């Protein structure tokens, strides 16, 4: 069980918040990261602040992969070939939320 002060506010133990992208981790994941489904940087770009606090627990590799996929998508307008499965689903959700937020401003 996680004890208060053991991790940053953006991390959670594997026990308390298992990775939503990968079932198996080698080496074993002890601490996962809390990924904002609508990335904070994008929220700041759209609204000037972070409003959507929806988060998912992901391992650091999964977290980095989602952000790498989002950068690739922003640059090329398509997903990298390696972006599949749950990584793609989480990245797609970010793109949908950003589009909805931008549309709501119009």
Q: Which pLDDT tens digit goes with each residue over 38-83?
A: 999 999 999 999 999 999 999 999 999 999 999 999 999 999 999 9
Entry pTM: 0.85
| In 1-106, alpha helices (H) | 40-47, 60-76, 85-105
Per-residue confidence (pLDDT) for residue 9, from 0 to 100: 65
Buried/exposed code over 7-43 (b: 16+ C-beta within 10 A; e: otherwise): beeebbbbeebbbbbbeebeeebebbbbbbbbbeebb
pLDDT in tens, 48-58: 999 999 999 99
CB 11 within 8 A of CB 34: yes
Per-residue confidence (pLDDT) for residue 2, from 0 to 100: 42
């Amino acid at each position: 069980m996680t004890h208060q002060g053991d991790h940053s506010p953006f991390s959670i133990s594997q026990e308390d918040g298992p990775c939503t992208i990968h079932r198996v981790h080698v080496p074993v994941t002890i601490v996962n990261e809390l990924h904002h489904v609508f990335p904070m940087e994008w929220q700041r770009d759209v609204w000037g602040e972070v409003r959507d606090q929806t988060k998912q627990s992901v391992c650091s590799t999964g977290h980095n992969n989602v952000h790498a996929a989002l950068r690739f998508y922003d640059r090329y307008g398509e997903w990298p070939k390696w972006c599949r499965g749950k990584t793609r689903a989480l990245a797609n959700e970010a793109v949908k939320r950003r589009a909805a937020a931008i549309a709501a401003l119009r």
